[in-house]
Amino acid sequence: MSRQQLIALAVAALLALSAALYFSTQRNAAREVHGVPILPSLSSELNTVTSLSVLKGSPTPSVTVHKQGEQWTVAERANYPADVPKLRKLLLSLSDAKILEEKTANPANYSIIGVEDPTKPGATGAQIELIGKEGKHDLIVGKPVEQGNFVRRVGEKSSYIVEPGISFEAEPRYWIDTHLLDISADKIQSIQLKPETGPAYTLRRVSEPAPATATQPQPAAPATPATPATPEKVATPGSSTAPAAAAAPTATAPPAATAPPAATAPPAATAPSKFVLEGVPSGRQAADSNVLAPSSSTFGNLDDDDVAPVGDIDFSKPSTVTLALADGSVITLTGAAVGEKRWIQVAAPKDASLSAKTSGRAFEIANYRYDQIFKPLEQLLVPRPAPSAKPAPLGTSPPHSAKKPAAAPKP
């Protein structure tokens, strides 16, 4: 074998060894990604995040939840307060997501698992963009798989499966703080309704007279009979000595009767009350007070489904409810039906916090809650009696009358 052949064999062996080492290194590197956080530095930056955006089907974010001063707000809802627990849950799931395995790096296969460019119309996945103290984190979240999701970091070719799963919404309405009002029924003193159509009325709380309680006389203690006195002993005539008169025993006085303990007065209770209806039409009667009283679910724990600027909602044909509360405050709800949706405005002049939250905004609420709040007068009245059937004219038999059976023939 010539020297040139030996050199060629040596070079070939060196190349083969280098290739083997390279592929071995790549396999080891692929195995090492298992269990690695998909966003490694996020856990140390969670408290510095100031903005979270979701992009889906457009280069413009569909949702941006950002920090304004000390409050998180939704930019697409005129900076209305955001649902902070939902935001915190998403940030933690992004921080906790770890790579389970590496998947395709071929762009032609991205759409199969939902990690194609999320800014293109019709994209399956969505891009989450975080802005923190140390910069941006961008992650494309694709279709769910097993207990996790397919994901791809923006600007990289490789895609992965991560666990646990990453769940979020791409519509602004699902990011707002939905808690709107919580008015306890026992704090309401009056309700005035002026509906869009139909008669107005007032429900007013009035005190009921407390039932009279008669005082029961206490029975007298029985008297103890006195012990009769023993007669005094008299000296006998002719006796040498006349004994001194024996002292009569003292009668035992009966023990003094113990007076029964005075009854303890019960603690003062809140005077019972009920609601009465003002504005009952002539010839009609108000329903029972239990029907007139607002239920605990009418104004309590009232949530909103969406929020919009007042100018975007047609309130040209409003219904108005005014609540007077026990503390002297007044809350006014103005409602409007727009298509299939129900919207209200909230005015609370004496509640600065609520006014700051509701001023200039309209709130969509569930239809059934709207119907409870803006209840028409007819629902507070005793139903009209059903019309009686007209008597049949004389000489005519009523319809479907039973005929008398024919007499049986005599034997």
Is 125 found in the same domain as 84? yes
Task: Indicate the number of domains in the chain.
Answer: 2
C-beta atoms surrounding 287 within 10 Å? 15
Residues 183 and 170 in one domain: no
Closest by CA to 201, choosing from 287, 301, 305, 82, is 287
User: Once rounded to an integer, what is the mean pLDDT over residues 360-380?
Assistant: 97
Q: For residue range 145-186, what is the model confidence (pLDDT) as tens digits?
A: 989 999 999 999 999 999 999 999 999 999 999 999 999 999
Give domain status of residue 264, yes or no. Answer: no
Would you state the pLDDT for residue 6?
62
- Let me know if residue 191 belongs to a domain: yes
Residue 187: band (very low, low, confident or very high) from pLDDT cuts 50, 70, 90: very high
Residue 159 lies in a domain: yes
Q: Per mean pLDDT, which range of 112-126, 228-242, 353-367 is the poorest? A: 228-242
Residues 123 and 60 both lie in one domain: yes
Residue recorded with tokens 């950002």: 66
DSSP secondary structure of 341-364? EEEEEEE-TT-HHHHHHHTTEEEE
Kindly state whether residue 265 falls inside one of the protein's structural domains.
no
Q: Strands, E, within 36-181: which ranges?
A: 51-55, 63-68, 71-74, 80-81, 98-102, 126-132, 135-145, 148-153, 160-163, 179-181
**Which tokens is 275 given?**
């609601």
Tokens of 363: 């709130």
- 391, 395, 396, 397: CA torsion to nearest 10: 90
Instruction: Identify whether residues 135 and 71 lie together within a single domain.
Output: yes
Instruction: Examine the domain organization and report whether 132 and 193 are in the same domain.
Output: no
Domain of 75 in residue numbering reads as 42-175
CA distances from 71 to 85, 95, 328, 340 (A): 13, 22, 30, 32
Q: Which amino acid is at 3?
A: R
Same domain, 147 and 197: no
DSSP assignment letter at 78: T
**What would the pLDDT profile of 244-266 be if each residue is shown by its tens digit?**
444 444 444 455 555 555 555 55
Q: What is the rounded distance in angstroms from the CA atom of residue 51 to the CA atom of residue 46?
A: 11
In a domain, 338, yes or no: yes
- Asked if residue 315 and residue 202 are part of one domain, the reply reads yes
Residue where a domain terminates, one of 153, 175, 197: 175
Look over the chain and give the mean of its residue pLDDT values, rounded to a whole number.
Answer: 83
Asked whether 291 and 61 are in contact (CB, 8 A), the reply is: no
For residue 16, tell me if it sits in a domain.
Answer: no
Same domain assignment for residues 114 and 197: no
Asked if residue 110 and residue 162 are part of one domain, the reply reads yes
The pair phi, psi for residue 356, each rounded to 5°, is -65, -35
Q: How far apart are CA 393 and CA 396, in angstroms?
A: 6
Determine, yes or no, domain membership for 79.
yes
Using 50, 70 and 90 to split pLDDT, how confident is the model at 403? low
Q: Answer whether residue 115 shows pLDDT above 50.
A: yes
- Residues 6 or more apart whose CB falls under 8 angstroms from that of 313 comprise 336, 338, 343, 362
**Whether residues 317 and 171 fall in one domain:** no
pLDDT for residue 388: 73
Task: Specify the pLDDT at position 209.
Answer: 74
373 & 281 share domain: yes
Residue 19 is predicted with a pLDDT of 56
- From 127, 156, 175, the end of a domain falls on 175
**pLDDT-above-90 percentage for the chain:** 68
Answer with the residue of higher pLDDT: 367 or 215.
367
Q: Across residues 4-26, what is the average pLDDT?
A: 61
* Residue 279 and residue 143 share a domain: no
Q: When comparing pLDDT for 253 and 352, which is higher? A: 352
In a domain, 260, yes or no: no
- Last residue within a domain, chosen from 134, 153, 175: 175
The winner for highest mean pLDDT among 132-141, 185-194, 211-220 is 185-194
Residue 160: the pLDDT is 97
Q: For the residues 341-358, what does the mean pLDDT come to?
A: 96
Q: What is the mean pLDDT of residues 223-238?
A: 46
pTM above 0.85, yes or no: no
